[in-house]
Amino acid sequence: MAANHTRVPVRLIVFILFWYVLLLPCSSQSDVKVGANPWREIIRSRRQVCVDGTYEHEGRTCCLCAAGQYLEKHCSSSPDDRVCEHCQTGTYNSNPNNFESCRPCTSCSHPNANLEVAEPCTIARDTKCRCKESHYCTSNTGSCTICHPCRVCSTKIKEPCTATNDTVCDKPEGTPTTAIVVSVLVLIVVLAAVGVAVFIWKKKKAAKQPQTSSTTPDNGNQADVEMQLLNDIEPLLPKIAEQLEWKDVEHLAMQSGMLSAAIQSCMLDYPNDSQEQTLQLLKKWVDTQGRKASNKLVQNLRDSRKIAKAERIQDILCGKNLTG
């Protein structure tokens, strides 16, 4: 009888613990329906764990698609019943997502960009480009859109060209650095004195000539081009660019000796906007020409027999409002 009395409390304790463990998960699951089997709901909720995270859609929580996939259909009854599809060749998604399409892979074959493929594009990773041999790029972001040819030294190489730095050439032995600096300073002083003398001479000469009234040009000769135009045409560049085409400004840049890489970079930076390409190249060209950019622009158009464009741009420079 003593043995039977000691077994009853043990069975009772085991029975209470069993029902406590059984009912505890059911009470802690806020989304378990009343009257549902608690173990089935627990197993079902564990199966629905979203490995790549979740997103909200129309009040429902859905599982994200994995990297390399895109969302074809949102979830309807459970988080993991959304439909995902793999990205097509030439496209990718590098992170878990709920995008309805994949991004196009980056191309390394832009003309004059001097790039080559370092790592090909996969459905879960974009293409990685690098500079071709003997080329470099100084981008701080690690992603280059154009690479430049490495400098070729006529003397010894101090630091060789790398993917991110140009060649550093060593100075020739015995170069009289101090003498060169002094010579340059003397030359600058002499040129400045000559410039001042020429300026004073022209001012005196202009003072002796009778002044003529400033009239609006109505013909296409050189005298009209040399009339008083605005020296600072920066604020007018957007209006001027609207009157030009890419071929007009490209011709200007090539005639002035601008590097082909600098010209092409304007196209690469704005691949789908020809107006913005024209404006950006025009700004670069104006920066290289200085104060006489306006006269050179008008005269170049006249020399190219583009008289109508030259006259419209001359009207802009003279402060006229163009209505068409």
Mapping DSSP onto H, E and C, the string for the chain reads: CHHHHHHHHHHHHHHHHHHHHHHHHHHHCCCCCCCCCHHHHHHHHHHCCCCCCEEEECCEEEECECCCEEEEECCCCCHHHCEEEECCCCEECCCCECCCCCEECCCCCCCCCCEEEEECCECCECCEEEECCCEECCCCCCCCCCCEECCCCCCCEEECCCCCCCCEECCCCCCCHHHHHHHHHHHHHHHHHHHHHHHHHHHHHHHHCCCCCCCCCCCCCHHHHCCCCCCCCHHHHHHHHHCCCHHHHHHHHHHCCCCHHHHHHHHHHCCCCHHHHHHHHHHHHHHHHHHHHHHHHHHHHHHCCCHHHHHHHHHHHCCCCCCC
Predicted pLDDT at 33 = 38
pLDDT < 70 positions in the chain: 1-8, 10-11, 14, 18-48, 141-142, 173-177, 208-232, 320-324
Per-residue tokens: 33? 């329906």
Domain identity same for 56 and 141 = no
Same domain, 234 and 286: yes
C-alpha distances out from residue 74 to 18, 44, 80, 275, Å:
40, 19, 9, 40
Please tell me the distance from the alpha carbon of residue 132 to that of residue 110, in angstroms, as a whole number.
Answer: 12
90 part of a folded domain: yes
Q: Are residues 129 and 92 in the same domain?
A: no
Evaluate whether residue 198 is within a structural domain.
Answer: no
Select from 104, 134, 153 the last residue of a domain.
104
User: Is 245 in the same domain as 311?
Assistant: yes
For residues 159 and 128, membership in a common domain is answered with yes
Do 99 and 135 fall within a single domain? no
Q: Which domain holds residue 123?
A: 106-172
Residues 140, 79 within the same domain: no
Structure tokens at 265: 């970079």
Look at residue 134 and tell me if it is in a domain.
Answer: yes
Q: The CATH number of the domain where 40 resides is what? A: 2.10.50.10
Whether residue 100 is found in the same domain as residue 111: no
Q: Is residue 190 part of a domain?
A: no
Are residues 226 and 313 both part of a single domain?
A: yes
pTM of the model: 0.39
| Number of domain units in the chain | 3
Q: Are 309 and 243 in contact (CB under 8 A)?
A: yes
Same domain, 227 and 313: yes
216 domain-assigned:
no
End residue of a domain, out of 147, 172, 197: 172
**Final residue of a structural domain among 46, 69, 104:** 104
pLDDT digits (tens, 9 = 90+) for 221-275: 443 443 344 456 778 888 887 888 888 888 888 888 888 788 888 878 887 788 8
pLDDT of residue 35: 45
Q: Is 288 domain-assigned? A: yes
Q: What pLDDT does residue 42 have?
A: 45
Is residue 195 included in any domain, yes or no? no
Could you tell me if residue 233 is inside a domain? yes
Amino acid letter for position 108: C
Q: Same domain for 97 and 121?
A: no
Report how far residue 314's alpha carbon sits from residue 249's, in angstroms, rounded to the nearest whole number: 16
Report the CATH number that the domain containing residue 263 is assigned in CATH.
1.10.533.10
User: Position 196: which residue type?
Assistant: V
Same domain, 111 and 161: yes
